[in-house]
Structure 1
Amino acid sequence: MSGNHHDEGHTVAGWTGCAVAVVGTSVAGVGMCLGSAVGIWLGLGVVGLGVLVTWGLHLAGWGKPPGIRPVAERGMWVRDRGARAGHPACVGCRLAGRGHSVGTTTGVALSAQGVKGAQRAQGVLRTDAGSGSSPSGAASSESVV
């Protein structure tokens, strides 16, 4: 079993968010048992607060990036130094305006094939405004996007 090293994702953000969500679902459950709409909505509000707390702690570096971390960075109290710049495949970072968009290879396609080749490779045929011809040589007045 010592050869099986996997990243379980134990982080301050994860455990704190889980604890707040457990309290929220407990409050909602008690509200449901008592027939109190206020208790149910209060509990659901606490669960929503748990989501925001987890997201905030992740952005502050107390979460983890998507995927498996190196062994030295798997401890619960190890802070993620790359969180300020954002993680490339992280939805939370993208919602906060951090990170990079995944799958943008237009620059590589433009340098390797030229502008017309990149448009053709992406399935985009645009008409040339000056001559009325498309990049494939056929005369057309419409653009296919």
Structure 2
Amino acid sequence: MIENFDGIGDRIAAKLEELKLKQTDVCKATGISKNAMSNYVGGNRVPDTLATYKLSKFLSVSIEWLLTGEENKNDSDSSLNDLHIVDRNLLEKIKQLSDEERKRIEYIIEGLLIGHELNDNKRGQSSESINGEEAATSETA
């Protein structure tokens, strides 16, 4: 059993290079501080549980791989792997854009998410209205 987690920083750095990302990209997306991220990559500090989880999700790797460099052979979910490939390709394309273009993409995504929230709220309100109307109709009858 591994008792220390040597190499976490090297694995994070290698994955960032593979994905053509910077430490600051991870910090912005995960909320991990720049100082903490620098310490993780530099091997000065092991990420806490929450940071390990956030890093594994953002980098599309298992927590086990992040901590040990080993993969559990039972964790092969092909649909999850396919999703990660799509995410990586999208990130690589976004990485090629200028800062201004990235900001536009961010606004577009935020707009889409707001649209989804509004549609969900409208659906909830319309079903409440229908139920309220049915109740009012049955009370007057």
**Pair in the same fold by TM > 0.5:** no
TM-score category, normalised to shorter length:
under 0.3
TM-score computed with the length of structure 2 as normaliser: 0.27
